[in-house]
Structure 1
Amino acid sequence: MSFLHQAVIFLAAAVVSVPIFKRLGLGSVLGYLAAGMVIGPWGVGLISDVEAILHFAELGVVLLLFLIGLELQPSRLWEMRRSVFGLGGAQVLGTGALLAGVGLLLGLRLPTALIAGLGLSLSSTAFALQLLAEKNELTTEHGRASFGILLFQDLAVIPLLALLPFLGESTTPSTEPGWLSVLKVVAVLAGVVLGGRYVLRPVFRIVASVHSQELFTATALLLVVGTALLMGQVGLSMALGAFLAGVLLADSEYRHELEADIEPFKGLLLGLFFIAVGMSVNIGLLASGPVRVVGLVLGLVLLKGLVLYALGKWVFKNHEPALSLAVVISQGGEFAFVLFGLAVGFRVMERELADLLVVVVSLSMAVSPVLFAAYDKLVRPRFRKKVQREFDVAPEEDHPVIVAGFGRVGQVVGRLLRAKHIGFTALDASPEHIDFLKNFGNTKLHYGDASRLDLLRAARADKAKVFVLAIDDVEASMRTAETVKQHFPHLTIFARARNRQHAYRLLNLGITHVMRETYAGSIEMTGDILQELGLTWSETKSALVRFREHDEALIQATYKHHGDQKKLIELAAKARAELEELFKQDEEKKSA
């Protein structure tokens, strides 16, 4: 089958499956896995050479680690040392020891049990980071801890590979002495570090001076693939090499350009990697012993989850981030495929056991998105309702202003009120956001869902005068607005609207003070543009006042018809003509 035929099959499978799974709330990763199972040798058999596809698709993981490295400056990496070597080391050693013990109980030899346990202790960097990215949880407590553990696991690959020759015998023994192999590894690592610090920036400076976007993209890809290949040649993780290259360029002036150039390739190849993992799942082995395979998968996820939960509880002192950590990285990892394959070559592991463990790891990856989606929808909301915070009870003093939602808009309002010594009560529904803001001295911030009537009563809404509705989520904003309008009609509501449709819905409730979040800033910037083009300050101010009055009148005229697109188009065309006529009349008055 030609390359183009294969490309069409992969693209079509992704285009069909991913939207379906995203619509079901299961995420794109599971969609890619399902697509791979369908088109692979155990499905309809459209693609048969799974091994070659998997090797090529590993470039997606390599590019992912490079982009992560670009976001992680060396100083931040040093700050994460406890998370990486403390949490990561405890997870790998603890999980590996427990799994090796289970292997011994099942009758495996000590070397086999040791490699099986340590190999299964590794998690999937690609799966975990993709799941966290889709939920915007990479910067949360459990997101940062997950990344630290995953980074240590990539580092742990090096000693695991070095351990294999000592546990068995290679079918293709090498005459190269061990000290020479170590010397090669040290030389390559030193070369990558020194080259990244002293060579790459001048190279990119020369390439950028040519002003060729294609050449810059090609250079970026050459850097990532070349570094990964160089590391792979001496037995190190290719993904680790790409990550190191990214970290060395994190402080460079070309970081954002590199991100923009690499991102499209990363997305496509990472999707291909997930499809290839789905294709590699041996459904025949699953069919011949479903109880055994399912039991091993559940046992792996449960045991790793328990270890991760215990570590998370010890570090976070809180159940929720510990449980989130356990759910996110309790699956097996893609590097287990390589490790178990090499273990067969060194006669540390039998081929039948390696095939079984590959199926277990693949299915644990497939289970991971489902488990995460179920946890996010069913467990996490109930769990958070039970969490009691010391600041989820409103203060005792009465304040004239209540600010619901302490994000970008709410913080600006709060800063100005505090500067004028006007008391206010701020409410936000994100515990993580509250913890972050408290580090900057925001002690008047309280946890709670502002749409709850009992919380508003506890916040003394009946004593307040003004209610600032600055919640980012549109539906949560509307629920809060409805509650306030119904139970506290005396409050004057100043509402932030995400967009015009949100503004229409707020106006329908009778809220007259509605600010579209980008509207004021856009008008102010346009004023600067007009003055830069030669208009005087008074001419600019007159134009902006005229535009604002006209647009506010348009909002009032159109919100009653916001469900009728044809009518809105008609009113918009009419409004454009009216505005042009108003400006024309102003010009005529000026020249008269």
Structure 2
Amino acid sequence: MAAPAFHEPVILRDAIVFLLAAIVVVPLFRRFGVNAVIGYLVAGAIIGPHGLALVHEVEGTHQLAELGVVFMLFSIGLELSPERLRVMARYVFGLGVAQVVVTGTVLAAGVLALGASPGQAAVIGGALALSSTAFVLQLLSQRGELHTHFGRVVLSVLLLQDLAVVPGLAVVTALGSQPDALSEALAIAAAKAVAALALILVVGRWVLRPLYRMIAGMRSPELFAAATLLVVLGTTWGMIQAGLSTALGAFLAGLMLAGTEYRHQIEADIRPARGLLLGLFFISIGMLVDFRTVAPRLPEILAATALLVLAKATIMTGLCRLFQLPLPLAATVGLHLAQGGEFAFVLISLAMGTGVLPVQAGQFLLTVVAITMALTPLLGRIGQLTQSWLQARAPGGLASLASEAEALTDHVVIAGFGRVGRTIAAILDARKIRWIAVDLDPINVAAARAQGLPVFFGDASNEVIIHATKIGQARAAVITLDAPSATASVLRMIRSELPDIPVVVRARDAENMDELLRNGASQVMPETIESSLLLGGMVLKTLGDSDAKIEEVIGSLRQAAYQASGSQGVLAWRSAPEMSKRP
């Protein structure tokens, strides 16, 4: 009896094609210093149906790839906290709403002037007002800027845009079927959104923490990872049923787990899947580019791309200034959010399917959006250069830093001037030790300089900035940044220039501490360990223990905590006398 013929599974073949494209094309681009995202887009254009047509299940692939955005937003939610999100509320519901409304209105008016119908203009204006959550946040994450003031402003606007997708879908659906039922469709969409968000908050507060506590007690890594996948995919499915953005639901699920003790393990579990699926998402976007549509209308497409980027950047910059953001920050926010977004593909594709937009016009717009998304790394770089150029000419910029630091010797350089940096500066002032600080948050810089403090705008991981602080003549350097990736970047920069200078670093936890020590930090202060020990000491003091007993208990627990982390008992509090001399 003959063996049955082997039928090649299409999905397996497509998976092999995707992996080969990523492995071959992306490293080639990175070798020449081009952002990996551009490599993914080009790989998608090559293997897609409009290129070599090596992939067959295009629609299914794109749906799977959207999970990359879902996992990314879930990770970002894990990095935040409800308290920090409340601080962002002014930008979410103020600047974010203003951006969607003003940008959508201006773009719709422009399309209307070109002869589109009011319904078409509303759809196009609303779709093009959205920016790319996946591209922009991936870029900020790579640069360690998600936790800066700039990162919070950008994240706030993107979150509101994700919310705006809900009424956008309702509008497109109503225009395609019953335009007179638009108000009813919007009311139903709003009710669904409120109900779904309330349900997520309730589940997050009363279900997720007990669930993870139970699963963690079973000591099964596989079950723990499965629970995380259940939370992410279950939330995604729930958002689809409610007509909401899946990415927004994933973000809220991450936010609910951000304050739990399981956050770091959850983040570690999803990191490999997030990276792989996000790369797949970028490849799937590249597959949408139809070269046959682009070639005959290339001049029009390029002109539309330039106009869209210029209009969105200008409007966003102006709105940021209205919200009293400094011009350098406003300009870089505008340029980072000047591209089209992945949800524009959803809205425009739905508009073509319902007959609101002609297919040819829809394909034209999809191509423009795809090109602007591919330009995101370039726009981000232009935004950084523009910010640096404007800031260098403003009070507290590079010119001021170089001038004021010229005569400094035997001083301390502080990278980051948030609450920790301010405290260190106050301690140094009390001991009559001169210091100079750099910070990437223009709000912090402006507030400090208003008090006459030597704080300057700049990225401490930048060779030009760190040289301007005269760090070669400094007694020590202190890194107090929130983001571990940014901290590691600054440490590498300092160590590459000055291998002998004492560098004291603030770490998030013991795991982060060990990594920093391996990378050359002289002393590291893990914030979670030390704050917990200090709080415990206060509790003992309140209960009437003597200072000597408290010092004994805290000292033994501190030693045990550092030894358990693998740091061989490196205690930051012991290093203070050593800062008076170079090693």
Q: TM-score, normalised by structure 2?
A: 0.74
1:261: which partner in 2? 269
2:521: which partner in 1? 518
Tell me whether 1:3 sits opposite 2:11 in the alignment.
yes
Tell me whether 1:62 sits opposite 2:65 in the alignment.
no
Question: What SS class does the counterpart of residue 377 from structure 2 fall into?
Answer: helix
Structure 1: gaps spanning 5 or more residues: 482-492, 499-515, 534-539, 541-547, 556-592
1:299: which partner in 2? 307
Question: What SS class does the counterpart of residue 93 from structure 1 fall into?
Answer: helix
The answer to whether the 8 Å contact 1:88/1:150 transfers is yes
1:389: which partner in 2? 396
1:579: which partner in 2? none
The 1:149/1:203 distance shift into structure 2, 3 A limit, reads same
The partner residue of 1:402 within 388, 393, 411 is 411
Shift of 1:303: 0.7
Question: What SS class does the counterpart of residue 252 from structure 1 fall into?
Answer: coil
Cα deviations by residue, 1:7-50 (Å, 9 ceiling, x for unpaired): 22222222233333334443221121111112222222221432
Shift of 1:4: 3.2
The 1:320/1:19 distance shift into structure 2, 3 A limit, reads farther
Question: What SS class does the counterpart of residue 475 from structure 2 fall into?
Answer: strand
The answer to whether the 8 Å contact 1:399/1:423 transfers is no
The answer to whether the 8 Å contact 2:437/2:454 transfers is no
Aligned partners of 1:157, 1:413: CA distance in 2, in Å? 44
After the TM superposition, which residues 427-442 of structure 1 pair with which residues of structure 2 at under 5 Å, given as runs? 428=438, 432=442, 435=445, 438=448
The partner residue of 1:470 within 471, 477, 483 is 477
Q: How many residue pairs were aligned?
A: 498
Cα deviations by residue, 1:140-198 (Å, 9 ceiling, x for unpaired): 33321111100000111111122234323179x9xx99987766555443332222221
After the TM superposition, which residues 126-141 of structure 1 pair with which residues of structure 2 at under 5 Å, given as runs? 126-141=134-149
The answer to whether the 8 Å contact 1:393/1:446 transfers is no
CA RMSD of aligned residues (A): 4.4
The 1:194/1:494 distance shift into structure 2, 3 A limit, reads closer
Aligned partners of 2:406, 2:134: CA distance in 1, in Å? 50
Cα deviations by residue, 1:401-452 (Å, 9 ceiling, x for unpaired): 3334546999998666434x33424254857596299499893545689979
Tell me whether 1:167 sits opposite 2:175 in the alignment.
yes
User: What letter matches 1:346 in structure 2?
Assistant: T
Aligned partners of 1:453, 1:206: CA distance in 2, in Å? 48
Question: What SS class does the counterpart of residue 342 from structure 1 fall into?
Answer: helix
Aligned partners of 1:412, 1:184: CA distance in 2, in Å? 46
The answer to whether the 8 Å contact 2:44/2:286 transfers is yes
Shift of 1:301: 0.9
1:113: which partner in 2? 121
Aligned partners of 1:329, 1:342: CA distance in 2, in Å? 23
Cα deviations by residue, 1:110-138 (Å, 9 ceiling, x for unpaired): 00101110111001100110111122222
Question: What SS class does the counterpart of residue 411 from structure 2 fall into?
Answer: strand
Shift of 1:519: 4.8
Shift of 1:245: 1.6
The partner residue of 1:207 within 215, 222, 235 is 215
User: What letter matches 2:159 in structure 1?
Assistant: L
1:288: which partner in 2? 296
Aligned partners of 2:314, 2:117: CA distance in 1, in Å? 25
Shift of 1:384: 3.9
2:329: which partner in 1? 321
Tell me whether 1:272 sits opposite 2:280 in the alignment.
yes
User: What letter matches 1:198 in structure 2?
Assistant: W
User: What letter matches 1:387 in structure 2?
Assistant: A
The 1:380/1:79 distance shift into structure 2, 3 A limit, reads closer
The 1:437/1:217 distance shift into structure 2, 3 A limit, reads farther
1:53: which partner in 2? 61
Shift of 1:375: 4.6
The 1:306/1:255 distance shift into structure 2, 3 A limit, reads same
1:574: which partner in 2? none
Query: Which of the two has higher C-alpha Rg?
Result: 1
Tell me whether 1:125 sits opposite 2:136 in the alignment.
no
Aligned partners of 1:301, 1:123: CA distance in 2, in Å? 10
The 1:183/1:320 distance shift into structure 2, 3 A limit, reads closer
Aligned partners of 2:188, 2:455: CA distance in 1, in Å? 60
The 1:77/1:455 distance shift into structure 2, 3 A limit, reads closer
The 1:196/1:403 distance shift into structure 2, 3 A limit, reads closer
The partner residue of 2:429 within 418, 440, 461 is 418
Question: What SS class does the counterpart of residue 221 from structure 1 fall into?
Answer: helix
Q: TM-score, normalised by structure 1?
A: 0.73
Question: What SS class does the counterpart of residue 42 from structure 1 fall into?
Answer: coil
The 1:24/1:372 distance shift into structure 2, 3 A limit, reads farther
User: What letter matches 1:435 in structure 2?
Assistant: V
The 1:282/1:170 distance shift into structure 2, 3 A limit, reads farther
The 1:67/1:157 distance shift into structure 2, 3 A limit, reads same
Bigger shift: residues 470-479 or 195-204:
470-479
Question: What SS class does the counterpart of residue 502 from structure 2 fall into?
Answer: strand
Question: What SS class does the counterpart of residue 352 from structure 1 fall into?
Answer: helix
The answer to whether the 8 Å contact 1:331/1:368 transfers is yes
The 1:192/1:152 distance shift into structure 2, 3 A limit, reads same
Aligned partners of 1:222, 1:89: CA distance in 2, in Å? 32
The answer to whether the 8 Å contact 2:48/2:287 transfers is yes
2:21: which partner in 1? 13
Bigger shift: residues 255-264 or 79-88:
255-264
Shift of 1:222: 1.1
The 1:60/1:436 distance shift into structure 2, 3 A limit, reads farther
Question: What SS class does the counterpart of residue 281 from structure 1 fall into?
Answer: coil
Aligned partners of 2:33, 2:383: CA distance in 1, in Å? 12
Aligned partners of 1:57, 1:95: CA distance in 2, in Å? 28
The 1:324/1:395 distance shift into structure 2, 3 A limit, reads closer
User: What letter matches 2:264 in structure 1?
Assistant: H
Shift of 1:355: 1.7
The answer to whether the 8 Å contact 1:164/1:343 transfers is yes
Cα deviations by residue, 1:486-529 (Å, 9 ceiling, x for unpaired): xxxxxxx972379xxxxxxxxxxxxxxxxx9535679x99x968
2:107: which partner in 1? 99
Shift of 1:288: 1.8
Aligned partners of 1:454, 1:359: CA distance in 2, in Å? 44
The answer to whether the 8 Å contact 2:91/2:157 transfers is yes
The answer to whether the 8 Å contact 1:393/1:447 transfers is no
Tell me whether 1:220 sits opposite 2:223 in the alignment.
no
